[in-house]
Chain A
C-alpha cells in the first residue's frame, strides 16, 4: 500500500460543502435561476448535496442534474474507452445560471468537455464551476469559482475522493504513486 495523506476528513468535507453552498447563494442573488449539474461520476453526489444545502439556505428547491462528458472528451483513441454514465438534466438550462460541480479540478479538460456537452442542452445565461479539490496543473485556461480546498500536488500523486453515497465514509486522500 502506497503512502496516503488525509486532505479532508468527513467533518472537514461537510464544512467545505456548507461554505461552498453559502458562497453560491451569496454570488447568485436571484437564486431561483440557479441549477446544479454534477459531472459524472464524482460530481453528481456532490451536486445533490449542494442542492440539499442550498435548499436549507434559500428555502427553495435548487434542482441538480448529472452530466457525462465522455462523448465530448478529446482523448478517445489514446486511452481506453471510457465508461459512459447516464446524463440526466430534467430541467431547461437556457437562461439559467448553471453551477457545474466536480470532485477534482486537474487539467481542466473534463471541464472543457462539460462546457461543450452542456451546449447540447441549451444556452445557459452563465456557467460557474464548483470543485471540492483544486489540485493545480491546469492545461487549459479554466478557473473554479467555488473551491472546497486548494491542494498543491505533484504529478506523481493522486487525489482520491471517496463519498458515503458509494458506500464507506466521506474522505479525501492524497496518494503517492
Chain B
C-alpha cells in the first residue's frame, strides 16, 4: 500500500486501497491527539493556506488545527477579505499565494471543479475542502473512519443517508467512499431532494423512511439547507420534520447498535430530535475529533514526494 497522489481533489477517482491508506494513516494521527504533546514536526517549515472562497467555520478550523498540529504555518484567506472582491481571478489569487511559497492550498469554493482547475495551474498541493455540490472528500473520509472505528469494518454494512441530498457534496463523497469500500448505501428523503438518478452511483433510493432506517447499521443525517431556496422543494420545514425527522418514535424502531451520524451543524427539532442527537449511539462529536485526525493524515500524505521510500 502506498499513496502517490499530490492532491486530494475528490473521492470518485480514489481506489478502495487509497481510501484505506488514508484511514490507516489517520489512525496513527488520532493517537497523536491523545498524547500529552499533541504536536508532531511532520510538516515543519511548510506553509498551508486555507483558501475559503465560500464561508465555512468548522471545516476551516479543523484544517487549521490539523496543520498546526503538524507544525506547519497556516494562513487563512477568506473571500470577504481578499482581492477577489477587487476583481482578481482565482488563478491570479492562487499564483500570488504560491509566490509566497505556499506548499499546500486547502480550498473551499462554491463552483464544482474549482480545486481541479487550481491543481492544473499551480504547483502547490491542492486539498478540496468542498466544491459546490460536487464533493467534500475529507468529510466522507472522516465519516468512513468513524464507521470503521465503531463497527470494525465498512464492507457489508447498511448505511442510510437521510435528508437533503440533491445539492449535497457530503452525500456524493460519502456515496463514493462507502460503495468503494463495499457498504450498501440507501438514500432517503423527499423525492424532490433525492432524485432517482443517484441510483447510477451504485446506491438505492427509497422514499419510505421507516424501511430506510429499520435495517440501517448507520444513519447519516444531512441538514436541510434552508438557506439554499428550499421553499420550492417541499411545503415546509414542519412537514419535513414530521415526515423525515429522526424523532423518538422512529429512533425506537432502529437497530439497537445503530450509529447516528451528522456532519453538522445540526438543527435540533428539524432533522434530528434532541434526545437522539445526545444519546450514546450518536457519534456526532466523535466525527469532529476524527475529522482532525483525517485532515492531518491528508495534509501529510499529499506532501509526500515522488522518490522511493527510504529505510535505515
The answer to whether B306 has its CB under 8 Å from any CB of chain A is: yes
Within 8 A of B (CB), among A49-98: 68, 70-72, 75-87
Q: How many A-B residue pairs have CB under 8 A?
A: 93
A76 near B41 with CB under 8 A, answer no
Known: A106-B311, A109-B312, A110-B312. A84 touches B24 (CB 8 A): yes
Closest A residue to B306 using CB positions? A80
> Would you call A110 and B306 a contact (CB within 8 A)?
no
- Distance (whole angstroms) from the CB of A116 to the closest CB of chain B: 7
Asked if B198 is at the interface (CB within 8 A of a chain A CB), the reply is: no
Question: What is the minimal beta-carbon distance from B127 to any residue of chain A, in angstroms?
Answer: 14
Write out the residue numbers on chain B whose beta carbons fall within 8 Å of the beta carbon of A120: 35-37, 39-40
CB neighbours (8 Å) of B36 from chain A are 120
Within 8 A of A (CB), among B16-44: 21, 24-25, 27-29, 31-32, 35-37, 39-43
Give the docked Cα–Cα distance between A77 and B124 (Å). Answer: 12
Question: In A103-129, which residues have CB < 8 Å from any B CB?
Answer: 104-110, 116, 120-121
* Minimum CB distance partner of B1 in chain A: A83
Interface of B, secondary structure class, is: loop
Q: Are B306 and A84 in contact (CB under 8 A)?
A: no
Question: Are B311's CB and A110's CB within 8 A?
Answer: yes
Instruction: Determine if B238 is an interface residue (Cβ-Cβ < 8 Å).
Output: no
Interface residues of A in 124-163 (CB under 8 A from B): 135
Cβ of A162 to closest chain B Cβ, rounded Å: 14
Residues of A within 8 A of B305 (CB): 75-80
Q: Do residues B312 and A72 form an inter-chain contact, with CB atoms below 8 A?
A: no
Interface of A: prevailing SS:
loop
In the complex, chain A residues whose CB is within 8 Å of the CB of B310? 75, 79, 107, 109
**What total of chain B residues lie within 8 Å of the partner, measured CB to CB?**
36
Interface size on A, residues (CB 8 A): 28
Which of B28, B32, B40, B301 contacts A81, CB < 8 Å? B301
Is B3 a contact partner of A86 (Cβ separation < 8 A)? no
B27 interface neighbour in A71, A79, A86, Cβ under 8 Å: A86
Contact of B40 among A71, A79, A104 (CB under 8 A): A71
In the complex, chain B residues whose CB is within 8 Å of the CB of A72? 40-42
Q: Does B280 contact A (CB under 8 A)?
A: no
B-contact bits for A156-172, CB 8 A (1 contact / 0 none): 00000000000000000
Q: Is B304 touching A71 in the complex (CB atoms < 8 A)? A: no
Complex-state Cα separation, A78 to B304, whole angstroms = 7
Cα–Cα, bound, A80→B28 (Å): 17
Contact B43 A76 (CB under 8 A): yes
Contact with A along B276-312 (1 / 0, CB 8 A): 0000000000000000000001001111111111111
CB-CB under 8 A from B41, the residues of chain A are 71-72, 116
Bound complex: CA A104 to CA B310 (Å)? 12
Contact across chains for A106 and B312 when beta carbons are under 8 A apart: yes
- Any A CB within 8 A of the CB of B58: no
Q: How far apart are A118's CB and chain B's nearest CB, in angstroms? A: 11
A68 to B307 alpha-carbon distance, docked (Å): 20
- In the complex, B13 has a CB within 8 A of chain A: no
Cβ-defined contact, B309 with A82, below 8 A:
yes
User: Which residues of chain A have C-beta atoms less than 8 A from B256's C-beta?
Assistant: none
- A80–B2 Cα gap in the complex (Å)? 8
Taking the closest CB of chain A, its distance from the CB of B39, in whole angstroms, is 8
Q: How far is the CA of A76 from the CA of B44 in the complex (A)?
A: 10
Q: Which residues of B contact A (CB under 8 A)?
A: 1-4, 21, 24-25, 27-29, 31-32, 35-37, 39-43, 46, 70, 297, 300-312
Which 3 A-B residue pairs are closest in the complex by CB-CB distance? A106-B312, A81-B304, A79-B307
Given contacts A81-B304, A107-B312, 16 further A-B contacts (CB under 8 A): A71-B29, A71-B40, A75-B305, A76-B42, A76-B300, A77-B46, A78-B307, A80-B2, A80-B3, A80-B306, A81-B3, A81-B301, A81-B303, A86-B28, A110-B312, A120-B39
Hey, which bits of chain A sit against chain B, CB under 8 A? 68, 70-72, 75-87, 104-110, 116, 120-121, 135
> Can you identify 30 A-B contacts, CB atoms within 8 angstroms?
A70-B28, A71-B28, A71-B32, A71-B40, A71-B300, A72-B41, A76-B42, A76-B43, A76-B304, A79-B305, A79-B307, A79-B310, A80-B3, A80-B308, A80-B309, A81-B2, A81-B3, A81-B300, A81-B301, A81-B303, A81-B304, A83-B2, A84-B24, A84-B29, A86-B31, A104-B311, A104-B312, A108-B312, A120-B35, A120-B40
